[in-house]
Amino acid sequence: MINAVGREIPEEILRITGKEVFQGNNYKEGVEFHKQGPIVKPVMDHNTSKMVGSIREALEKCGAHDGMTLGFHHHFREGDLVVNMVMKEVHDMGIKDVTICASSLGKAHDALVPYIEDGTITNIQSSGVRGKIGEAISTGKLKGLAIMRSHGGRVRAIQTGETNIDISFIGAPTCDDYGNCKGIGGKSDCGVLSYSFVDGNHADKVVAVTDCLVPFPNYPADVAMTKVDYVCVVDAIGIPEKIATGAAKPTTDVRKLMMADYCTQVVVNTPYFKEGFSYQTGVGGASIASAASLAKIMRERGIKMGFAVGGMSKGMVDMLDEGLVGKLLDTQDFDLFAVNSVKRPNHHRISAGAYANPFNKGSFVNKLDYVVLAALEVDTNFNCNVVVGSDGRITGAQGGHPDAAQGAKCTIVICPLLQGRTPAICTDVTTVTTPGESIDVVVTDYGVAVNPARQDLLKALKAADCVPLKTIEELRDIAYSIVGEPEAVQFGDRIVGIIEARDGTIMDVVREIKDYEFED
Amino acid sequence: MEILKPAAAGTLESSDAMVTVEPNDEGAGIEFDLDSVVIHQFGHQIRKVVMETLERLDVKDVKISVVDKGALDCTIKARVECAVYRANDQKSNLPWGGAIR
Amino acid sequence: MNPNKKRLRRTMMFLNCQKPGLIKDPYIYKPDSIMLDLEDAVAEKEKDAARYSLYHALQEIDYRGVERVVRINGLDSEFWQEDIRAAVAGGADSIRIPKTESAEDVKMVEQAVRAAEEEFHIESGRTLIMAAIESAKGVMNCLDICEASERLFGIALSGGDYTKDLQTHITGTGVELMGARQHMIIAARAAGVQCFDTVYTDLDDMDGFRKDVETIHAMGFDGKSIINPRQISIVHDIYTPKEKDIIFAEKVVKEIDAKSALGIGVFTVDGKMIDIAFYDGAKRTIELAKASGVYKGDL
């Protein structure tokens, strides 16, 4: 069946997953559902201890079994040790057919590949699968389907009961003996525990894993003791240098600076740029440079940002210090400056659900004015590919891309026209992650394209004469005139994963890669 | 042109291609091997460019292998031509605009 | 005269022909000229490879109006003749001669260029020449070099080799380049050609770079050799006439035109004494403003 972005979703997949095809961003607007709740094991007896001596003991007490679903967060990013630690025990216990429901997986989890190959892990639900796991999925090693979903989508899937988490392991930088978890105050601080809120509320069993046990009560807690079954102390839950890095150096690459400048010009010359506007940015070189030049113009014009939301780093923290932004709503911290700022007033920690769950009564992304995102590919319908490389391998992560893109009034995608010989602006993306209806402006080093559906933005940018405007087709044609017109990736027949839209429908499928064959 | 001895041109840097040619038996034709980082998107195009270049140079029998790191057509042509002329020890009085086009 | 001879050349960016990743779309950085290098950037045993890359780059890459200059190997090498054949056949706009020391050097190149234009059916006179001055002898023979060929549009200082020839080194103060700079700009203007300054290699010292460019701009140089795109915007900023200068120049031109019809030779504009001597400079400012894309007037 063809969906709303023109992608063919085989009937077989619809049948196996029970899902519908994507039918537009607001297909599920106002459609009521019954929120699912977890199985709760009460602790009434004050003599009951939650402390367990090891991960294995935690697994046994939680009734780990074949076919279970485990939940994890990725606040420790490339410094995460929790997932591998838990899965090694699961494997050694001889448990099979496990589903991992992580907020994201990356290069830190390359060690899981043998467990995929031997059937310990048969299903993966994640925002991203960077590194060897992506390679393993693309080469057909995962027995079940990989479900790639956004941050908001994960919360939705858990709250609707579509995914039932049997045991969630929450890596907590500090925790007390009763399970009050915090993201700061320990040896492996990550600042916030946003992705774990939904696990605390909906997982049948919750295990806090910490390397820094602190006196009771560890309040105010990010995940409270009333939701935690067991507490396990280990030597290390993360590698600090890889969790929160030093501040990223500002880019000196002229192309990135050009794109950053175009991006800033788009922001300041469109109608939403006024006192109290809201903004989300990423941590790419061009994004950071753009936020810096935006701050300069804000100072010149005396315009303050009402709030910034999403992943935080030094740039945003400095703006808070300077009084250029009213509030920071934090879902993830990228550097130590952000981690250390988390304690301050006006720097608020929000859950992934409050940030982006499409199935609650209204999340922060709905209130965003501007968001600046990256993409691997953008096609002439403005659809974005954030997950699958141009060689067909699963390589990236949705993150909050589709969430913020739909929510924001002006969604800007920054993308160099060419990545090596690969044209990032193309006729059809390899795989659709975020639908074109969510994307308003595309900024490349060769010019800026505005989605024809946004004549208001186009008019404003034309009048301001601030950026070189081109149509998206013109950008694609320039790309093809330099590198040649690419052919589509040759995939195998087997579908190894689905790209899930925010509302749980299917945006696209990912097929197994195969070796290239010359047609003769 | 004949390939008198093995020769190579180019590097494995990003956007470049390393082309290696070796003599092949008379009448054996063109044996072409391609390893490219963009093989799915441009495999056919790269092969086309290599074959056309060899034809312009009137090379009929050769073992040619290309390790491509995302080179544009103009770079692939340049590397093939360089390897072929090196295989012939010819470094001057080249037919610019003629066989090299 | 080849109309390309007097074009805007504020920035001339060096590019290594052997680096395919860098030569595919240099115009995006908006330099006025790019210098495709067959000489110092290319290793001895790759001189042949660089020519093929050069030829195809010239023929197949769209440079959107940016001038393509090719730096051939020295006239004391075995490579320069084939370099010229490849460059001219490829359609290069100009040839840069390294280590030019005499008018004979220029004439030798001119002859080879003329022969190549004929051999490859390139319009005669299309290919221009520039001479790089890299030694004391070259500086002393500057005027002769500038006047040696109708095709020669300018001379450029190569500070690194020049200071070694003087038995000193680049100090950052500019004092070691003073003699060459002064001599060259004077010779270039006497011969009616352009003059370009040497590269600035410290990419971390953008303030030092800016001061350097301000100095040569004040001395009258037409432009600077660039080694990194980051340097381009600073040069263009300094070389682009400021709005108040453009307005003043406009007034000067209009007033001189008007007053000369009335037979008046000397008058004031904005409190400054103006006579006919200011005319050419004011016109040049307007032309530079137009070429830089900032002129909005009606002259």
Angle between helix B73-86 and helix C47-60 axes, rounded to 10 deg: 150
**Same-domain check for residues C143 and C251:** no
Which residues fall within 8 angstroms of residue C9, CB to CB, at 6 or more apart? C32, C33, C67, C154, C194, C196, C222, C223
Residues of chain C in contact with residue A252, where contact means CB-CB under 8 angstroms, are 230
Instruction: Please tell me the distance from the alpha carbon of residue C268 to that of residue A355, in angstroms, as a whole number.
Output: 67
Residues C178 and C115 occupy one common structural domain: yes
A487–B42 CB contact, under 8 Å: yes
Sheet hosting strand A230-233, strand order edge to edge: A51-52, A230-233, A205-210, A167-171, A69-72, A98-102, A121-126, A146-148, A491-500, A506-513
Enclosing domain of residue B36: 7-86
The model's confidence at residue C199, banded by pLDDT at 50, 70 and 90, is very high
* Nearest CB neighbour to B96, from listed C19, C55, C60: C55
Answer yes or no: are the C-beta atoms of C67 and C153 closer than 8 Å.
Answer: no
C12 is in which domain, residue-wise?
Answer: 3-239
Mean pLDDT of chain A: 95
What pLDDT score was predicted for residue A287?
84
C199 and C254 housed in the same domain: no
Which residues lie closer than 8 Å to A470 by C-beta, 6 or more apart?
A446, A447, A448, A449, A478
Residue B35: φ, ψ to 5°: -125, 110
CA C80 – CA C71 distance, rounded (Å) = 10
Residues of C with CB below 8 A from B15's CB? 20-21, 24
Does residue C187 fall inside a structural domain?
yes
- Cβ neighbours, 10 Å, residue A2: 9
**CA A506 to chain CA mean position, Å:** 17
Residue B34: inside a domain: yes
Q: Which of A252, A446, A481 is facing C230, going by the closest CB pair?
A: A252
Residue C297 lies in a domain: no
Asked if residue B31 is part of any domain, the answer here is: yes
Could you tell me if A286 and A307 lie in one domain? yes
Q: Is residue A250 pLDDT above 80, yes or no?
A: no
Least confident stretch, A439-453, C204-218, C282-296? C282-296
**C21 and C75 share a domain?**
yes
- The predicted pLDDT at position A494 comes to 95
Best A249, A251, A252 residue to mutate vs chain C (most C CBs within 10 Å): A252
Are residues C253 and C215 part of one domain?
no
With CA atoms as reference, the chain A residue closest to B38 would be A391
A109-136 average pLDDT score: 96
Q: Give a yes or no: residue C70 inside a domain.
A: yes
Shortest CA distance from A489: residue in chain B: B40
Shared domain check, C100 and C44: yes
Q: Which residue of B has its CA nearest to C121?
A: B97
Does residue C107 lie within any of the structural domains?
A: yes
Domain boundary residue, one of A243, A272, A300 = A243
Residue of B13, B73, B82 lying closest to C52 (CB–CB)? B82
* pLDDT tens by residue, C249-286: 999 998 888 888 888 888 888 888 888 888 888 988 89
Q: Which chains, if any, share at least 3 CB pairs under 8 A with chain C? A: A, B
Contact A446 C24 (CB under 8 A): no
Same-domain pairing of A235 and A324: no
CB A125 within 8 A of CB A156: no
Report, as an integer, the average pLDDT of A351-367.
Answer: 97
For A49, list phi and psi in degrees, rounded to 5.
-100, 145
Q: Is the pLDDT of residue A247 over 80?
A: no
Number of domains in chain C: 2
Which phi and psi (to 5°) does residue A91 adopt? -65, -45
Is B15 in contact with C20 (Cβ distance < 8 A)? Answer: yes
Distance of CA A466 to the CA centre of its chain: 32
Domain boundary among C239, C260, C280: C239
C144 assigned to some structural domain: yes
CA of C17: which chain B residue's CA is closest?
B75
Q: Do C49 and B78 touch (CB under 8 A)?
A: yes
Nearest to C24 among A255, A446, A482 (CB): A482
Q: Please report how many Cα atoms fall inside a 13 Å half-sphere around the Cα of residue A350, on the Cβ side.
A: 25
* CATH number reported for the structural domain that contains residue B55 in this entry: 3.30.230.10
Q: What is the pLDDT of residue B9?
A: 97
| Residue B35 falls inside a structural domain | yes
Specify if A204 maps to a domain. Answer: yes
**Residue C42 region, left (φ>0) first, then alpha (ψ -120 to 50), else beta?**
beta
Contact residues, chain B, for A489 at CB < 8 Å: 40-41
Q: What is the CATH number of the domain that holds C222?
A: 3.20.20.60
Final residue of a structural domain among C239, C258, C277: C239
pLDDT at residue C60, rounded to an integer: 94
Q: What is the pLDDT of residue C123?
A: 94
CB neighbours (10 Å) of residue A213? 18
Q: What is the mean pLDDT of chain C?
A: 93
Q: What are phi and psi of A479, to 5 degrees?
A: -60, -50
- In this complex, the chains that touch A, judged by 3 or more CB pairs closer than 8 A, are B, C
Length of chain B in terms of residues written: 101
What span, in angstroms and rounded, lies between the C-alpha atoms of A443 and A417? Answer: 9
How many CA within 13 A on the CB side of residue A162?
21
User: Cβ(A496)–Cβ(A140) under 8 Å?
Assistant: yes
How far apart (Å, rounded) are the C-alpha atoms in residues A20 and A13?
10
Q: What is the pLDDT of residues A48-60, one digit of tens each?
A: 999 999 999 999 9
Same structural domain for residues C189 and C269? no
> How close, in Å, is residue B60 to chain A by CA atoms?
19
- Cβ within 8 Å, pair B96-C85: yes
| Residue at B101 is within a domain | no
pLDDT of residue C259: 84
Instruction: Report in angstroms the alpha-carbon separations of A55 from A182, A196, A216, A379, C103.
Output: 20, 18, 22, 46, 84
| Residues A61 and A94 grouped into a single domain | yes
- Is 80 exceeded by the pLDDT of residue A245? no
Average pLDDT over every residue of C73-80: 96
Task: Using CA coordinates, name the residue in chain B closest to C82.
Answer: B92
Our count of domains for chain B comes to: 1
Question: Which of B74, B93, B97 is nearest residue C120 as measured by Cβ atoms?
Answer: B97
A-C Cβ pairs (cutoff 8 Å, strict): 15
Amino acid at position B10, single letter? G
Residue A361 located in a structural domain: yes
Nearest C-alpha in B relative to A518: B44
Per-residue pLDDT of C28-45, as tens digits, reads 999 999 999 999 999 999
Rounded CA separation A25/A4 (Å): 9
pLDDT of residue A400: 94
C24 HSE (CA, 13 A, CB side): 25
State how far the Cα of C48 lies from the Cα of C52, in Å rounded to an integer: 7
pLDDT at A222: 95
Dihedral of the CA atoms A362, A363, A366, A371 (nearest 10)?
A: -170
Tell me if A32 is assigned to some domain.
no
pLDDT above 90 covers what percent of chain C? 73
Q: Which residues 43-82 of chain C have a CB within 8 Å of chain A?
A: 61-62
Structural domain contains residue A515: no
Residues in B touching A488 (Cβ below 8 Å) = 40-41
Report residue A136 as tokens.
Answer: 């393993």
Range of the domain at A115: 48-243
pLDDT higher than 90, residue A213: yes
Contacts of B14 in chain A (CB under 8 A): 420
Instruction: Give one DSSP letter per residue of A258-315, joined into a string.
Output: HHHHHHHHHHHTSTT-STTEEEE--SSHHHHHHHHHHHHHHHHHT--EEEEEEEE-HH
Same domain? For A70 and A208 the reply is yes
Query: In this predicted structure, what is the pLDDT of residue C256?
Result: 87
Mutate to test the interface with B, among A138, A388, A421, A519 (most CBs of B within 10 A): A421
Average pLDDT value for residue range B54-65: 96
The single-letter DSSP state of residue C241 is P
Picking from B41, B46, B69 by the largest number of A CB atoms within 10 A of its own CB, the best residue to mutate is: B41
pLDDT of residue A326: 96
In this complex, the residue of B40, B69, B71 whose CB is nearest that of residue A487 is B40
* pLDDT of C21 above 90: no
Q: Are residues A264 and A393 in the same domain?
A: yes
Residue A165 maps to which CATH number?
A: 3.40.1080.10
CA distance B99 to chain A (A): 22
CA distance A295 to A319: 8
Quote the distance between the C-alpha of residue A336 and its chain's center: 20
Q: Which residue has the higher pLDDT, C283 or B18?
A: B18
How many angstroms away from the CA of A249 is the closest CA of chain C? 14
pLDDT higher than threshold 90 for residue A92: yes
Answer yes or no: is B43 within a domain: yes
Q: Which residues pair with A147 in a beta bridge?
A: A125, A498
Q: What is the pLDDT of residues A412-458, one digit of tens each?
A: 999 999 999 999 999 999 999 999 999 999 999 999 999 999 999 99
User: What pLDDT is stored for residue C271 in this prediction?
Assistant: 87
Which residue of chain B is at minimal alpha-carbon distance from A483?
Answer: B72
ipTM score: 0.96
For range C106-125, the mean pLDDT? 97
CB contact under 8 A, B10 and C49: yes
Strand partners, C277: none
When scoring B20, B72, B89 by the number of chain C Cβ atoms within 10 A, the one with the most, hence best to mutate, is: B72
Give the A-side interface with C, CB within 8 Å.
252, 254-255, 258, 418, 445-446, 481-482
Neighbors of chain B with 3 or more C-beta pairs under 8 Å: A, C
Same domain (yes/no): C219, C249: no
Going by pLDDT thresholds of 50, 70 and 90, the confidence category of residue A266 is very high
Cβ distance of B72 and A482 shorter than 8 Å: yes
